Amino acid sequence: MPKINQNCEHVFHIFAIRCEERASLEKEKAQVHKNQILNGEEFIEEKKTRRNKHKKSTFLSIFFNFIFYSGVCGFIIGLFLLYGPYNGFREWYITTAMTTMTHQYLATWFYSDDAIAEVLEKNKMVEVDAITDPSLVTSVASTGNYTYANEYEKEILTRDSAHPDYKIINIEGKGYTGYLAAVYDASKLHTMVTSNLNKSGQYVTTMAQNNKAVLAINGGFFVDLKEDRSGGTPLGITISNGKTITNKAYNDEGGLIGFNTDNKLIIGKVTPDQAKQLNIRDAVTSGPFLIVNGQSSRVVGNGGWGTAPRTAIGQRKDGVVLFLVIDGRKVGRAGAQMNDLIEIMERYGAYNAAALDGGTSSVMVENYKIINDPINSDGVHKTRPVATAWGLILDDSSSSTSNSQTTTKNNTTNSGKKIK
């Protein structure tokens, strides 16, 4: 029996060893299988990483190739437009650049002085050589039954019950949008002048608030005395409520634009002494003249002023005054040329009309708020300080800014067309 027990123990011992060996072998197999799985996942992950890097590299290559070839194509197209056979673009480009105060370099970089002079000679305004004859304007607005000459006259003379002193009309044409305001009593229109004369200009909204003007547009030409384009010095003759603010003669396109004591819009190239003889009560200096005594200026080429935001003032034979502001500098809405202003003024019956300062200055203000969309030459939606503005002041006693000005002489000569 002891020997049998020993044999059994020996068998069980061998069996236990075999079980441990088998368990160890199974464990090793499981570990190997696990490692294979892990190695496969790492391989897949590595493959994905390589694929992503390849995709990223391909994308960057396509992107930079696109930028490069777009730049090359743009450069070639630019050279073609600037120097190619198509004169229309070149003339538009030069005239638009040269009528700005801050971006004339866009023309002078690419063209010689002779080339620019040649283009400007081919594109210009031939103004009517006359001064407004006030006897041809009646200053009598229609009342009662009236037969309108056309739909535009009806639109102008049908008053707005919300504000019977003026009416604002939306204007739209090829390449521009804007506003036309009809003012029915010219005696309520006055020149507003910056309170910081010869130092800095003011926004038209500020001038309107200071003078309680319910409607206002920017006024005449001015110069910037500082690098910050402060716009505090008017050019030429400036008169406000009978007081002479500046009285320097002006010798470029345009001239005096103002109202006499009979509330007739006077347009003409006049001296300070002639302005007194004409009994001018409010005036600015700007231009070019668009219509004088019913005769429109002749536009040669594109007029020489390019395409930009515009402001203009006119008066019908019945005395109704027209304020016109055109927006621009947008995609598909670059602005208006001078022939556009003439066409609009003719359409609404202007007998005398002239352009005022344009570009970033162009603004129409109603109840102290800008209603158009001014954009400066950098593409920012904003206007700028100006030296003068026209305001509809229903209460004349409130016109404090203009009345507080002292008479000064403007010794600054005009350096060119002013579109800020």
Q: Using CA atoms, how far apart are residues 269 and 267, in angstroms rounded to an integer? A: 7
Q: Which residue has the higher pLDDT, 30 or 151?
A: 151
Q: Is residue 319 part of a domain?
A: yes
Task: Please say which residue of 122, 148, 170 terminates a domain.
Answer: 122
* Region label for 242, one of left (φ > 0), alpha (ψ between -120 and 50) or beta (otherwise): left
Q: Is residue 297 part of a domain?
A: yes
Nearest in space to 231 (alpha carbons), one of 284, 193, 269: 193
Q: Indicate the DSSP class of residue 28.
A: H
Q: Is residue 363 part of a domain?
A: yes
Please indicate, yes or no, whether residues 112 and 135 belong to a single structural domain of this protein: no
Q: Is residue 15 part of a domain?
A: no
Tokens for 148, please give them.
């309108």
Q: How confident is the model at residue 51 (pLDDT cuts 50, 70, 90)?
A: low
Please indicate, yes or no, whether residues 370 and 348 belong to a single structural domain of this protein: yes
Helix orientation angle between 87-98 and 2-83, rounded to the nearest 10 degrees: 90
In this predicted structure, the answer to whether residue 403 has a pLDDT above a threshold of 70 is no
Q: Which residue has the higher pLDDT, 256 or 248?
A: 256
Using one digit for the tens of pLDDT, what is the confidence trace for 184-211? 999 999 999 999 998 899 999 999 999 9
Q: Is 277 exposed, middle or buried (0-12, 13-18, 19+ CB in 10 A)?
A: exposed
- The whole-number average pLDDT for the span 2-16 is 50
Q: Within 10 A of 313 (CB to CB), how many other CB atoms are there? A: 28
Please indicate, yes or no, whether residues 195 and 301 belong to a single structural domain of this protein: yes
Please indicate, yes or no, whether residues 110 and 165 belong to a single structural domain of this protein: no
Q: How confident is the model at residue 95 (pLDDT cuts 50, 70, 90)?
A: confident
The pLDDT of residue 8 is 47
Q: Using CA atoms, how far apart are residues 110 and 84, in angstroms rounded to an integer? A: 13
Q: Which of 107-121, 275-289, 397-411 has the lowest mean pLDDT?
A: 397-411
Please indicate, yes or no, whether residues 143 and 276 belong to a single structural domain of this protein: yes
Please indicate, yes or no, whether residues 245 and 370 belong to a single structural domain of this protein: yes
Please indicate, yes or no, whether residues 106 and 184 belong to a single structural domain of this protein: no
Distance of CA 382 to the CA centre of its chain: 8
Please indicate, yes or no, whether residues 130 and 118 belong to a single structural domain of this protein: no
The pLDDT of residue 57 is 60
Return the C-alpha torsion angle 287, 290, 294, 297, nearest 10.
110
Please indicate, yes or no, whether residues 189 and 108 belong to a single structural domain of this protein: no
Residue type at 101 in one-letter notation: M
In this predicted structure, the answer to whether residue 35 has a pLDDT above a threshold of 80 is no
Q: Is residue 200 part of a domain?
A: yes
Q: How confident is the model at residue 336 (pLDDT cuts 50, 70, 90)?
A: very high
Q: Is residue 156 part of a domain?
A: yes
Using one digit for the tens of pLDDT, what is the confidence trace for 253-309? 889 999 999 999 999 999 999 999 999 999 999 999 999 999 999 999 888 888 999
- The whole-number average pLDDT for the span 82-99 is 67
Q: Is residue 198 part of a domain?
A: yes
Q: What pairs with residue 295 in β-bridges?
A: 292
The pLDDT of residue 252 is 83
Instruction: Assess contact for 340 and 172: CB atoms under 8 A.
Output: no
Nearest in space to 220 (alpha carbons), one of 166, 269, 288, 268: 288
Please indicate, yes or no, whether residues 185 and 220 belong to a single structural domain of this protein: yes
- Predicted model pTM: 0.74
Q: Using CA atoms, how far apart are residues 199 and 205, in angstroms rounded to an integer? A: 18
Q: Is residue 80 part of a domain?
A: no
In this predicted structure, the answer to whether residue 368 has a pLDDT above a threshold of 90 is yes
Please indicate, yes or no, whether residues 150 and 266 belong to a single structural domain of this protein: yes
In this predicted structure, the answer to whether residue 101 has a pLDDT above a threshold of 70 is no
Please indicate, yes or no, whether residues 102 and 152 belong to a single structural domain of this protein: no
User: At 220, is the secondary structure helix, strand, or coil?
Assistant: coil
The residue range of the domain holding 117 is: 85-122
Q: How many distinct structural domains can be found in the chain?
A: 2
